[in-house]
Structure 1
Amino acid sequence: MRGAGAVGGTAAHIQPAQSQLSERSRRGGPRSAAEAPRRRWKSRQLSVRTDDGVTLHLTVHGPRGAPCTVVFLHGLCLSQVSWAYQIDSVVDRFGPVVQVVGYDHRGHGRSMAAAAASYTIDRLADDLDAVLDAVAPTGSVVVIGHSMGAMAALTRCARPASSNTRRIDGLVLAAPAAGRLTQFGLGQLLMAPGVSTLLRIVQGAPGPTLRPLRGLLAGPVCWGVSHWHGSRFGGALAQVAADALATTSLRTAVGFLPALAQFDQYAALGSIRAKTVVVSGGADLLTPAVLAEDIVARIPGSRHVHLPRCGHMVQQAGYELDEAIVSLITRVITESQEVVATPSPRLAGALA
């Protein structure tokens, strides 16, 4: 198996809670700061060392060996905290029946920086393999990716099945693209002549030299990530996004740009067999809805959830995204061979 290195952490205990998801979803609209995740459960912090020596930081809720493991992948210039609402909803709904994993990509959040040559989507897919090897030895797997995280999930799912990799049973692609990023919206900037020059400068300059340039250069790179309906979004995720944008290194932010510009998984979409939900935002300036429609048209049996007023940060939307995630997880668990014909009362209650 690829990359499953050292793993360490403390024990966890999940406190079951009654879900209010359906009631919330009827209210609709964006979340407010008053509706921040409740975090009523304890978690364990783990580290996974990849086969190229990079340590990834994980936060895990729920027991190892649960019937289903759900992994959240964030986008460029963000961190696992960008999925806080959805992690809250999944743990609240399923409790210890599901193991929920969030982690920071290499160069992001609390994970290690890495060599610039490793800032590729293929390498992120390898990192996902390392995480799955470490925390999900059994049970079904659902991967939920946002933006660049969705691209990593697509890349992993598009690889030929083998006996030494975990099968991904469910896939939620939020604000995704399978390619063509340079043809639409802000993505067209990836082909600007100055991008290659910027990359050379950033890779060759010493750290102290880059600090004064960070606000000037990284701002445009990450600006569109945190937009909501044409303006900076309000609510609790605004500070999360601002903190992530402020702390993502310039080498990371710029280092992934060539991989994004070259990304193309269109030819492999028809081979993906995971149960798939694709989520798009009508006001998304980075990965517009037409790119989601491309994916839905090519992945057999996939479902499209479109949020007309939502920008690139679909996590900040109302509860349609939460409902779509919970529904897919329920379907995967129900149909998985890991679920016996007569499930335990705890599992039956989670799926009710």
Structure 2
Amino acid sequence: MVSRRAWQALGVAGGVAGAAGAAVGVGVATHRRRELARDRRRLAGELDSRGEQPGAQPAPTSSSVMADDGIRLACEEIPPQQGPPRLTVVLVHGFALDRRTWFFQRQSLPALVDPAVRTVLYDQRSHGRSERAPRDTCTLEQLGRDLEAVLRALAPEGPLVLVGHSMGGMTLMALAEQHPELFDSRVLGVALISTSAGEMGSAGLPGSLLSRYNPLTRGIGGLARLQPKLVQQGRRMLSDVIWGITRRFAFGDRKVDPALVDLVDTMISANAVDALTDFVDTLGTHNRIAALPALAGCEVLVMAGTKDEVIPYTHGERIAAELPSAQMISFEGVGHLPMLERRAEVEDALEGLIRRSAARIPAPARRAPGRKRRA
């Protein structure tokens, strides 16, 4: 085992800060295991380039939306497979990841028939294929404004269901704080997965590596800005250790399909280290418990894994306690990514949320959501 301080350094250098974290060191036992890991990632990369495995890069973004400060956000719009959509579902990913987080859901949601839904996904700023943003704009307040810009451009009318994972859930709360009227009029359903409404610095990953007071995190972030090639080289050298840390913190099941670990590892590795550390302050100071009442008029679904070591399960319980009418689903033994680790159960729960939300649509308002027609 490596020391607590050592694994923190390895975790930041690998960009594991958001999705997998670093609370306990994970090593690679033998030279043979390292060789197998390298072969596995090489094969994963080949399959990814051909679109043949979970997490393969989606087709080039079908659209992009300009945020209010000019940052380009890469987006994807998926129509229903059958019939006109009754509502639009917007999927918002978490820290250090990208829209590939929803690999399975982007297939299952368009297949829904009753109701048929239109699906919108996008990469948060400085993540995935979206444009790198200045450090001072990497705040949850700005992420809330980004989501509003996506809705304004890609779903300007019609009923909505918003689904957020981890930092994506916090983004939904920021939107509710800024535009509570949306949740009175258009947002019929909200799903909050493995997320928190506040007190992020007290436990879990933010209580250690993502603490705004952690000089190691800030130091490596600064080094990544000054010497990006050096940090990336260290990242490559430690790739096997980082893969083990990713499995340790992203998933509760140690026997999880390695392809899913590869997916998370690939998403994290695609992001620049300093782009991730730019979000440390906003995650560490997040407190939007006061914004939760704006969701009280919606159908609310809260999901959390009991073995989540990034954002502890108790944070989900706190959200459900603040919203007594919310449905709380616990995934026993599951880590931070239930949409991958227990995808069938998550999809069943989301389908139930969507059906309950659709039942709220007044008959005269039942028309296909989407873009406004241009003259």
- Quickly name the TM-score band, shorter chain normalised: 0.7 to 0.9
Pick closer, same or farther for the CA change 1:267–1:112 going to 2, 3 Å.
Answer: same
| Alignment-derived partner of residue 19 in structure 2 | none
| Alignment-derived partner of residue 228 in structure 1 | 251
| Alignment-derived partner of residue 30 in structure 1 | none
Pick closer, same or farther for the CA change 1:105–1:88 going to 2, 3 Å.
Answer: same
| Alignment-derived partner of residue 24 in structure 1 | none
2:192 aligned counterpart, secondary structure: strand
Which of 276, 287, 292 aligns to 1:253? It is 276
Distance 1:224 1:235 in 2: 8
Per the TM alignment, residue 248 of structure 1 is displaced from its structure 2 partner at its CA by 0.9
| Alignment-derived partner of residue 241 in structure 1 | 264
Aligned runs of 1:133-282 on 2, under 5 Å?
133-162=152-181, 167-189=186-208, 190-191=210-211, 192-195=213-216, 197-198=218-219, 201-202=222-223, 204-214=225-235, 223=246, 227-229=250-252, 231=254, 233-234=256-257, 236-272=259-295, 273-282=297-306
Which of 316, 323, 328 aligns to 2:348? It is 323
- Alpha-carbon displacement from aligned partner over 1:312-346 (angstroms, at most 9, x marks no partner): 011123322111101111111121126669x99xx
Aligned runs of 1:57-68 on 2, under 5 Å?
57-62=74-79, 66-68=85-87
Per the TM alignment, residue 198 of structure 1 is displaced from its structure 2 partner at its CA by 2.2
C-alpha contact 2:247 2:261 (8 A) present in aligned 1? no
User: Normalising by the residue count of structure 2, what TM-score does the alignment of the two structures yield?
Assistant: 0.72
C-alpha contact 1:226 1:232 (8 A) present in aligned 2? no
Q: How large is the RMSD of aligned CA atoms in angstroms? A: 3.6
Aligned runs of 1:13-162 on 2, under 5 Å?
45-62=62-79, 66-94=85-113, 97-162=116-181
Per the TM alignment, residue 83 of structure 1 is displaced from its structure 2 partner at its CA by 0.7
User: How many pairs were matched up?
Assistant: 308
User: Normalising by the residue count of structure 1, what TM-score does the alignment of the two structures yield?
Assistant: 0.77
Distance 1:149 1:285 in 2: 17
Pick closer, same or farther for the CA change 1:90–1:323 going to 2, 3 Å.
Answer: same
Which protein, 1 or 2, shows the higher relative CO under an 8 Å CA cutoff with sep ≥ 6? 2
- Alpha-carbon displacement from aligned partner over 1:233-255 (angstroms, at most 9, x marks no partner): 32543222111111111122111
Per the TM alignment, residue 207 of structure 1 is displaced from its structure 2 partner at its CA by 3.6
- Alpha-carbon displacement from aligned partner over 1:22-54 (angstroms, at most 9, x marks no partner): xxxxxxxxxxx9x97799xx9971111111111
Question: Match of 2:146, as an amino acid?
Answer: D
| Alignment-derived partner of residue 27 in structure 2 | none
Pick closer, same or farther for the CA change 1:300–1:75 going to 2, 3 Å.
Answer: same
C-alpha contact 1:199 1:255 (8 A) present in aligned 2? no
Pick closer, same or farther for the CA change 1:299–1:43 going to 2, 3 Å.
Answer: farther
Distance 1:254 1:219 in 2: 17
Pick closer, same or farther for the CA change 1:286–1:338 going to 2, 3 Å.
Answer: farther
Question: Match of 2:141, as an amino acid?
Answer: D
C-alpha contact 2:224 2:274 (8 A) present in aligned 1? yes
Per the TM alignment, residue 278 of structure 1 is displaced from its structure 2 partner at its CA by 0.3
Gaps of 5+ in 1: 1-32, 345-352
- Alpha-carbon displacement from aligned partner over 1:84-110 (angstroms, at most 9, x marks no partner): 112211111239931101111111111
Per the TM alignment, residue 197 of structure 1 is displaced from its structure 2 partner at its CA by 3.4
Distance 1:46 1:91 in 2: 18
Distance 1:289 1:60 in 2: 32
Question: Match of 1:56, as an amino acid?
Answer: L
C-alpha contact 1:224 1:285 (8 A) present in aligned 2? no
| Alignment-derived partner of residue 288 in structure 1 | 312
Bigger drift between 179-188 and 139-148 goes to 179-188
- Alpha-carbon displacement from aligned partner over 1:103-143 (angstroms, at most 9, x marks no partner): 11111111111101111111111110011001112211111
| Alignment-derived partner of residue 27 in structure 1 | none
Pick closer, same or farther for the CA change 1:139–1:202 going to 2, 3 Å.
Answer: farther
1:182 aligned counterpart, secondary structure: coil
Per the TM alignment, residue 305 of structure 1 is displaced from its structure 2 partner at its CA by 0.5
C-alpha contact 1:270 1:300 (8 A) present in aligned 2? no
Gaps of 5+ in 2: 1-43, 45-51, 369-375
Per the TM alignment, residue 67 of structure 1 is displaced from its structure 2 partner at its CA by 2.6
2:112 aligned counterpart, secondary structure: helix
Pick closer, same or farther for the CA change 1:79–1:225 going to 2, 3 Å.
Answer: farther
- Alpha-carbon displacement from aligned partner over 1:64-93 (angstroms, at most 9, x marks no partner): x83311011111111101111122111112
Per the TM alignment, residue 56 of structure 1 is displaced from its structure 2 partner at its CA by 0.8
Pick closer, same or farther for the CA change 1:177–1:167 going to 2, 3 Å.
Answer: same
Question: Match of 1:176, as an amino acid?
Answer: T
